[in-house]
Amino acid sequence: MEQLTSQEIITEQSQLVNYFHNGCKQASNFKTGMELEKLVVDSSVFKAVPYSGDIKNFLKRYSSIHLQEGSNIIGVKSDYGTITLEPGSQCEISTIPANSIHYLKEIISSYNKKSSYIAEDLDFYLLGYGVQPISTYDRIELIPRKRYACMTDYLPVQGHLALVMMRETAGIQVALDYESEEDAINKLRASLALSPVVTAMFANSPIRGGKETGYKSFRALSWLNTDENRCGLVSKKIFEGKYTFKDHVEVLLDVPMIFIQRNDQFIDMKGHSFRDYLNDGHGKYRATMDDWFLHANLFFPDVRLNNYIEIRNCDSQRGDLILAPAALWKGILYSQEAMQSAFNLVKGLNYENLMELRSIVPKYALDSRINSFRVSEVAKELVNIAYESLKQMNNLNKQGDDESVYLEPLLDLVNKSLTPADIILQKWNSEWNRDIAKLVEYSRI
């Protein structure tokens, strides 16, 4: 799932539309990628480890192939992906695209084993959890990247939890291919409509600042309060009829810009739309395709259309649930029959219903409901659709297991109408006796 790059000056909108057309692939070449973010905490006091602490040493020990901004190391490359840092030093692996979830398991298992070994030697832990358990954003050091400094200036004006999202939270993202414009839009529509249900089933951030928040996914809450111009469900038009790549370009053209980059210089765009920039320029600067790629990647909906489909709405997970988001979405979106069956579960909800559902899911997760629409019941059906779809794909590993095996832990949870957050809250108020050390140990990867 490579990101394009070009200094080409934009002279007509067809160049922007072609950005999405260029992502089309033959179905036989479809792959699955994922991004796993992990929180980094001190192993004794469980506070967020700052970049100026041992994070730099962690990266240096992980790989000798460094990614730098100026003199600062901000990531490394490995044979199976890129490891980078999010604004609050959350550690993220972006895997190479894989032919199977089995191969993704090999990648993630190898990464987790190596990263955990290095981290423990440096006296910190890596957590598969959705929000920092103790440290809040005002106590978390921003890593030295200019793009994050620009975002820190811009986003808090748009939403009061933007800095929580940036510095405290961790998630799992899934990347999937599309065959054509029609296929891309169908996948975008289905995954957006289903995204509140999936957010609910993977809720895993109920404890923040050392105490219960009243939300099962505080991470999802932070995204609700980040920037309504660039977050959410993309466009009402997606759910009302025909939607095309050109329509998507029109949406992006009206999204306020944050910055553009020229070499090592970051230029504040002062919230002007890309449409204005394209028509009028900005001082001496004219819009390039690199500016467009950057702008498209500073758009943060629950599902993002790039030159692939990027699904972004799951809290980070521990153990056997890490691969469940990738397995779930592959099972749904890589089968036309499964995708239609899954979309049928939510097609009775209009855009306003979905926005309402998205707003209540962070608090209630699977207990959310709108009239007769019960998220817990839909979640069960959705996971079963994906499970049967993966079985039919019959992609076997050396042990003879198909990819549905990665949905079994999730299937067990949703059949009990439970989320990871529910398990944590049960333990938190009983055997853990509200001891943050127990949560950290439980969430370690």
For residue 360, give both structure tokens.
């209540």
Distance of alpha carbon 401 from alpha carbon 390, whole angstroms: 11
pLDDT digits (tens, 9 = 90+) for 35-76: 999 999 999 999 999 999 889 999 999 999 999 999 999 999
Q: In whole angstroms, how far apart are CA 274 and each of 52, 186, 252?
A: 35, 26, 7
pLDDT digits (tens, 9 = 90+) for 100-110: 999 999 999 99
The β-bridge partners of 67 are: 75
Closest listed residue to residue 94, CA positions, set 106, 83, 103: 83
Domains of the chain, earliest start first: 14-255+299-443 (3.30.590.20)
pLDDT of residue 5: 52
pLDDT of residue 53: 85
3-state SS of 296-337 is HHCCEECEEECCCEEEEEEECCCHHHCCHHHHHHHHHHCCHH
pLDDT of residue 2: 43
pLDDT of residue 3: 47
Residue 152: what residue type? T
Sign of the alpha-carbon torsion through 400, 202, 232, 211: negative
Kindly give the parts of the chain with pLDDT less than 50: 1-3
Closest listed residue to residue 215, CA positions, set 223, 225, 206, 224: 206
Q: Give residues with Cβ within 8 angstroms of 117, minimum separation 6.
A: none
pLDDT of residue 241: 82
Q: Give 142-182 as a DSSP string.
A: PPS-HHHHHHHHHHHHH-TTHHHHHHHB-EEEEEE-BSSHH
Distance of alpha carbon 329 from alpha carbon 312, whole angstroms: 11
Neighbours of 282 (CB within 10 A): 17
Distance of alpha carbon 279 from alpha carbon 258, whole angstroms: 17
pLDDT digits (tens, 9 = 90+) for 106-164: 999 999 999 999 999 999 999 999 999 999 999 999 999 999 999 999 999 999 999 99
